[in-house]
């Protein structure tokens, strides 16, 4: 059902008034800002939205009093349905109907309210801020250009550090830590975003960039601000779209991936597959921080998870995805052999009966 912008604003204002009459305001704040155990989790929520919008480059600009985010997603600029979704909770029909979508404007985006009381958004013809968690407001919001010199339209977000329950200095420090934590894992399994940049108040630039070298080989380079050294990691990555039927009988086409760490043997002058340093991780596009598979390589799928996407739930849909990943590993063996990588070091990476795997991965 379509809705006018005026009706949408009125509906949201009525919602806030009902919350106030029922003394729900503090509870809503706690619900929307305390779901995530780690600081600056909203960074990943923003990256997920940009990935869904088919952005290739995203940029964070950190200041003492705010953090800005922008991306060059070409899928579309904001429309009224997007404004409805971003000021709602878990209601985004456009993304729910898209099986390739990761993030949904819903609870996830609300994590920004741990840092700001009034997020500001510029996209296409719309320039607005959100107040009281749900109400879009257009009055008093300055229109800014969102088109770059090449004619590409960007979507821009601004998050002033004006949450009365968090000092701006604390917000700055937490966002800085969150940005500095971005490494090769931030882009390894993304299909669209190839570069994440972030700029500090000093003008120093940090970045993470993925290059697809073909033949299943990818290289990820990242650099921390205030450092001249670049860090590179190389991966043998296999991707596959799989068709599954969920517990409700609905057919879905979902992406699965695996990534083996590649090292270089200086003595023999050739690549070899090595166990991932620190252990293999389970990704839901980004690492599930509390999930420990016991594998020695990375796996990725849109697993059903906790709200914070930090661990995987035990459910039938996830079993199907694990089986699909197992088949992907099996089918990758012929290519690994063809590239001359099936040797003793590779066998050390594969799981065996002595491996201490978590139950759902066995």
Beta-carbon-side half-sphere exposure of residue 340 (alpha carbons within 13 Å): 4
CA 144 to chain centre: 26
Query: How far is 166 from 291, CA to CA, in rounded Å?
Result: 29
Structure-derived torsion over alpha carbons of residues 231, 237, 241, 244, reported in degrees to the nearest 10: -100
- What CA–CA distances, in Å, run from 127 to 5, 107, 113, 124, 142? 13, 22, 19, 8, 7
Q: Angle at CA 263, nearest 5°, toward 257 and 269?
A: 135
Mean pLDDT (10-residue bins), the chain, 362 residues = 84 87 75 64 90 95 98 88 86 45 55 92 95 92 92 94 94 94 94 96 96 97 92 97 78 92 94 95 92 94 85 88 95 97 94 84 87
Instruction: Count Cβ neighbours within 10 Å for each residue of 65-104 and write b for 16 or more, e otherwise.
Output: ebbbbbbbbeeebbeebbbbbbbbbeebebbeeeeebbbb
Query: How far is 42 from 114, CA to CA, in rounded Å?
Result: 9
Sign, CA torsion 285/287/291/294: positive
Instruction: Provide the pLDDT for residue 38.
Output: 58
Strand ranges, E, within the chain: 57-63, 66-71, 120-123, 126-131, 135-137, 155-160, 195-199, 205-214, 217-223, 231-245, 251-265, 270-274, 282-284, 286-287, 298-300
Reported as a single tens digit per residue, the pLDDT across 27-57 is 776 666 666 655 678 899 899 989 999 999 9
Instruction: Provide the pLDDT for residue 281.
Output: 95
- Cβ count near 31 (within 10 Å): 14
- Cβ count near 11 (within 10 Å): 15
């Amino acid at each position: 059902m379509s809705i006018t912008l005026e009706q949408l604003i009125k509906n949201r204002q009525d919602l806030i008034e009902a919350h106030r009459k029922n003394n729900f305001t503090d509870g809503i704040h706690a619900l929307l800002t305390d779901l995530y155990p780690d600081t600056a989790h909203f960074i990943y929520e923003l990256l997920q939205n940009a990935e869904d919008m088919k952005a290739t480059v995203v940029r964070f600009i950190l200041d003492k009093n705010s953090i800005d985010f922008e991306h060059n997603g070409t899928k579309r600029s904001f429309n009224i349905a997007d404004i409805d979704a971003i000021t709602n909770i878990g209601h985004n029909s456009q993304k729910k109907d898209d099986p390739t979508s990761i993030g949904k404007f819903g609870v996830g985006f609300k994590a920004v309210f741990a840092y700001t009381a009034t997020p500001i958004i510029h996209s296409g013809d719309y320039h607005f801020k959100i107040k009281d968690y749900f109400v879009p407001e257009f009055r008093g919001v300055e229109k800014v250009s969102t088109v770059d010199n090449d004619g590409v339209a960007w979507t821009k977000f601004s998050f002033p550090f004006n949450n009365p329950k968090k000092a701006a200095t604390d917000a700055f420090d937490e966002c800085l830590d969150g940005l500095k934590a971005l490494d090769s894992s931030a882009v390894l399994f993304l299909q669209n975003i190839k570069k994440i940049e972030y700029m500090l108040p000093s003008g120093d630039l940090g970045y993470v960039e993925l290059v697809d070298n073909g033949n299943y080989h990818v290289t990820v380079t990242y650099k921390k601000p205030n450092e001249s050294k670049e860090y590179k990691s190389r991966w043998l990555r296999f991707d596959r779209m799989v068709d599954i039927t969920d517990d409700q009988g609905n057919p879905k086409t979902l992406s699965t991936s695996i990534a083996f760490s590649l090292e270089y043997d200086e003595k023999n002058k050739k690549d070899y597959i090595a166990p991932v340093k620190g252990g293999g991780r389970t990704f839901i596009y980004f690492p599930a921080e509390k999930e420990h598979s016991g594998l020695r390589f990375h796996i990725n799928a849109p697993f059903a998870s906790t709200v914070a996407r930090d661990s995987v739930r035990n459910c039938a849909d996830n079993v199907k995805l694990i089986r699909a990943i197992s088949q992907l590993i099996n089918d990758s063996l012929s290519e690994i052999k063809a590239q001359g990588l099936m040797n003793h070091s590779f066998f050390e990476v594969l799981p065996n009966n002595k491996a201490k795997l978590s139950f759902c991965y066995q």
